[in-house]
Amino acid sequence: MPFQDREEAGRRLAEALQSLKGEDVVVFALPRGGVPVAAQVAVALGAPLDLVLVRKIGAPFQPELAMGAVADGGDMVVARNEDVIALSGVTETQFERALSREIEEIERRRRLYLGDRPRAEAKGRVAMVVDDGVATGATTRAALRAIRARGPKRLILAVPVAPTETLDELRGEADEIICLESHDYFLGVGCYYADFRQTEDHEVIALLDRYGPQPARG
């Protein structure tokens, strides 16, 4: 088993990123599972930890099938999977309805996780998007586009594990990709962890309390 848990994966990922220590880095995690991984990276690099909130847009009759994704990096960014939309016979009205539901969920999570915290600035910095792994790449693509729109001088995707094919498809979205384990035959992210229990909301909030930008004190 390549990784014991997300914390160990984060520590190993941080070791692979040591060349960035001393640079002006900001780390953006995909919640929830990406946050414990990203926290280890942020600590090792002395970088602030923030979130990029992303939701898959599932097809109406097959929610696990991603017809796109939406991400909040300050402004909402939508990445559409036109092939899935066409093959599923999804109308524009159906797509917009599903998109609206996921935007509502992003807003709920923003209030829950971030509250009145300031957002970490990406403009002119090395921005790093971190998750516990990549599968189809739909949410990852939306996250990268959302952070790219905020004007970083360099955009890095850093993940412990991913399918080789998906990484190839994402290379145009990031300036650099760091992945510890890539596999031609991919079993699913959870298969590469001994402990892949769900990260809970309170864990995300606790990690942000410890490593994220702090609200201004009045």
d(CA 2, CA 154): 29
Does position 61 have pLDDT exceeding 90, yes or no?
no
> What is the band of 218 on the pLDDT scale with cuts at 50, 70, 90?
very low
What average pLDDT does range 184-213 have in this prediction? 93
More confident residue, 134 or 61: 134
User: pLDDT value at position 91?
Assistant: 92
> What is the band of 74 on the pLDDT scale with cuts at 50, 70, 90?
low
| Tens-digit pLDDT profile for residues 125-174 | 999 999 999 988 989 999 999 999 999 999 999 999 999 999 999 999 99
Does position 9 have pLDDT exceeding 60, yes or no?
yes
What average pLDDT does range 35-63 have in this prediction? 94
3-state class (DSSP) for residue 197: coil
Provide, rounded to the nearest whole percent, the portion of the chain with pLDDT above 90: 79
User: pLDDT value at position 131?
Assistant: 97
User: pLDDT value at position 69?
Assistant: 93
Note the pTM of the prediction, 2 decimals: 0.92
Domains assigned to the chain:
6-54+116-211 (3.40.50.2020), 55-113 (3.30.1310.20)
User: pLDDT value at position 214?
Assistant: 64
SS (H, E, C) 84-147: HHHHHCCCHHHHHHHHHHHHHHHHHHHHHHHCCCCCCCCCCCEEEEECCCCCCCHHHHHHHHHH
d(CA 154, CA 142): 17
User: pLDDT value at position 62?
Assistant: 84
Query: How much is the mean pLDDT over the chain?
Result: 92
| Tens-digit pLDDT profile for residues 76-126 | 899 898 988 998 899 999 999 999 999 999 999 999 999 888 888 999 999
Does position 179 have pLDDT exceeding 70, yes or no?
yes
Does position 213 have pLDDT exceeding 90, yes or no?
no
d(CA 209, CA 145): 26
User: pLDDT value at position 101?
Assistant: 94
Neighbours of 148 (CB within 10 A): 18
